[in-house]
């Protein structure tokens, strides 16, 4: 009997197709695993099922009834709940208050809240999933991360339980990303216990977890459902199904890649550690080299970029540049050492949208447009230099005084990159530099990257979720998994690795 079904679900974000005609069905009391590389569409699908996003087309069926949740509250009322990767608990309130948050009216009588009844019901629910060691009257933040993750699971079944909904659908979006091996085993124990009374969809980037806990595996690639397979299938074959696309070497300008194997060191990192983010990271990068860093979401690669650029201070380790040990305790200190950073979320961290192209481009190096050594801006010099960089980067705009918010995504990203070219860098850290831009803008950004290393011998650390981008642009590839470096892979222009050779170390 079909318990849950999606039919031809499609979703597009601007120029990006997130989901393309996805259809599958689930039997009752099953655990279904969704796997695919970063950006394959897994989390988007869960958000649509949970009412957080809305599909452009397609149908959802639950227990034989067609549904279209208006929002998350509507989805929970229908028996669909979600365990998020980023915990949704409020740390400074009690456990029982978190379990029933926004649903307190269930326990009201004549507009008086019966807190004792809430506590009793919380105890009953916690005990039913083997969490009797959690005190519902303790402050949620007093428990460690893994215990809070267990509370998240209890919360996911709380509302269906109090509403009298039997056999809910629980969505798990990367719940193991921040858990160690023993904590994952505890989570799986609770999921097996839940299986007698719920149906689950489980998303993870760790293939060994998917194979261990799931009854069936659904493989996504580029927003499409590629295949539905047994957990017994060979890992290498699953890797092949997840990737296997053709890479256009001309698109990534591979013929322009420099051979830096005998070059001068640009930066060295030794034993770099930031608790709960990554540990013992060690590598060197040459001048003019592009060092790619790959790994699934939660592996620590983006956090590493923020530490290298001074946004976050490390707990241990050394960053060495020009034979001197440096401690980048702030972004300004990193800029002084010639380190620039293009963040993955350009709107939040890369540009100030309400300000002009001119203002954004000069923001990181105002001293270059001062009158001699006086802290007053030479507006003529500013205009000339900004016009030069806009031409070099092919930023399409009617004026250098135009607001950045009026530009396309690709041109906004060029402004973010241009800000650091204006600052005259030695090392540039790029975190998903082509996310959310169209194909034409991507190719222009790849040209900019190649010219930077060729003409200015800048060292580039490329952090990206796009495997073809990672392979096509990089001289070497560093793979991270579970917050550690697990492999270095050479990627010379004439002998690039294929995607499956990368994925086998990532999942």
Three-state DSSP at 99 gives: helix
Query: How far apart are the two ends of the chain, measured CA to CA in Å?
Result: 32
CA atoms within 13 A of residue 24's CA, in its CB half-sphere: 22
Query: Rounded to an integer, what distance in angstroms lies between the CA atom of residue 143 and that of residue 94?
Result: 11
11: exposed, middle or buried (Cβ count in 10 Å: 0-12, 13-18, 19+): buried
Using alpha carbons, select from 273, 296, 102 the residue that is nearest to residue 206: 296
* pLDDT higher than threshold 90 for residue 358: no
What average pLDDT score do residues 376-396 get?
76
Average pLDDT, the chain: 87
pLDDT one-digit tens code per residue, 400-448: 888 888 887 788 888 888 888 777 788 999 999 888 777 778 888 899 8
Let me know: does 37 contact 231? Beta carbons within 8 Å: no
pLDDT band at 324 (very low <50, low <70, confident <90, very high): low
Tens digits of residue pLDDT in 437-454: 777 788 888 998 998 888
CA dihedral sign of residues 215, 221, 225, 228: negative
Is pLDDT above 70 for 374?
A: no
Cβ of 124: how many Cβ atoms within 10 Å?
A: 12
Closest by CA to 390, choosing from 430, 363, 417, 371, is 417
Structural domains of the chain ordered from first start: 2-242 (3.40.50.300), 247-335+459-507 (3.40.50.300)
Question: Is pLDDT larger for residue 276 or for residue 485?
Answer: 485
Cβ contacts of 454-457, under 8 Å, gap ≥ 24: 454/256, 454/258, 454/288, 457/287, 457/288
Taking only the tens place, the pLDDT of each residue in 118-129 is 999 999 989 888
Query: If you ran DSSP here, which 8-state letter would residue 340 be given?
Result: E
Residue 364, both tokens: 């990181």
Q: Indicate whether 263 pLDDT > 90.
A: no
Cα separation, 309 vs 362, whole angstroms: 18
Q: Between residues 180 and 306, which one has the greater pLDDT?
A: 306
Written as six digits, the tokens of 201 are: 């969809």
């Amino acid at each position: 009997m079909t318990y849950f079904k999606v039919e031809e679900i499609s979703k597009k974000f601007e120029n990006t197709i997130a989901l393309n005609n996805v259809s599958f069905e689930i039997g009752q009391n099953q655990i279904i695993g969704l796997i695919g590389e970063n950006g394959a569409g897994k989390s988007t699908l869960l958000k649509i099922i949970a009412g957080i996003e809305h599909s452009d087309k397609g149908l959802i069926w639950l227990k034989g009834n067609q549904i279209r949740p208006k929002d998350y509250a509507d989805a929970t009322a229908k028996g669909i709940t979600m365990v998020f990767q980023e915990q949704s608990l409020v740390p400074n309130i009690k456990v029982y208050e978190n379990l029933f948050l926004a649903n307190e009216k269930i326990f009201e009588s004549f507009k008086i809240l019966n807190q004792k009844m809430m506590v009793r019901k919380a105890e009953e629910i916690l005990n039913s999933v083997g969490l009797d060691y959690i005190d519902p009257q303790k402050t949620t933040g007093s428990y460690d991360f893994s215990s809070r993750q267990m509370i998240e699971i209890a919360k996911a079944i709380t509302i269906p339980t109090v509403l009298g909904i039997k056999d809910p659908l629980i969505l798990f979006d990367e719940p193991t990303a921040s858990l160690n091996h023993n904590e994952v085993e505890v989570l799986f124990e609770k999921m097996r216990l839940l299986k007698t009374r719920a149906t689950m969809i489980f998303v993870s980037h760790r293939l060994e977890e998917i194979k261990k806990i799931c009854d069936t595996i659904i493989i996504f690639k580029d927003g499409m459902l590629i295949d539905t397979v047994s957990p017994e299938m060979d890992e290498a074959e699953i890797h092949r199904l997840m990737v296997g696309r053709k890479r256009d070497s001309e698109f990534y300008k591979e013929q322009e890649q420099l051979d830096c194997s005998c070059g001068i060191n640009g930066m060295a990192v030794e034993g770099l550690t930031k608790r709960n983010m990554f540990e013992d990271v060690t590598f060197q990068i040459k001048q003019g080299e592009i060092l790619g860093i790959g790994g699934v979401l939660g592996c620590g690669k983006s956090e590493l970029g923020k530490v290298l650029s001074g946004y976050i201070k490390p707990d241990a380790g050394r960053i060495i540049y020009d034979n001197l040990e440096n401690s980048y305790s702030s972004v300004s200190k990193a800029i002084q050492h010639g380190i620039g950073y293009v963040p993955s979320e350009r709107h939040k961290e890369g540009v100030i949208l309400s300000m002009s192209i001119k203002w954004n481009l000069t923001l990181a190096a105002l001293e270059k447009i001062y009158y001699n050594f006086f802290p007053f801006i030479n507006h003529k010099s500013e205009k000339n230099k900004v016009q030069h960089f806009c031409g070099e980067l092919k930023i399409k705009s009617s004026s250098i005084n135009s607001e950045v918010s009026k530009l396309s995504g690709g041109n906004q990203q060029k402004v973010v990159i241009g800000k650091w070219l204006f600052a005259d860098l030695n090392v540039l850290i790029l975190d998903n530099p082509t996310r959310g831009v169209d194909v034409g803008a991507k190719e222009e950004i790849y040209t900019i990257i190649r010219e930077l290393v060729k003409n200015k011998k800048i060292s580039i650390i490329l952090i990206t979720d796009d495997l073809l981008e990672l392979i096509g642009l990089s001289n070497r590839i560093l793979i991270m998994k579970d917050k550690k470096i697990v492999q270095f892979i050479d990627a010379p222009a004439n002998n690039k690795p294929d995607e499956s050779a990368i994925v086998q170390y990532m999942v």
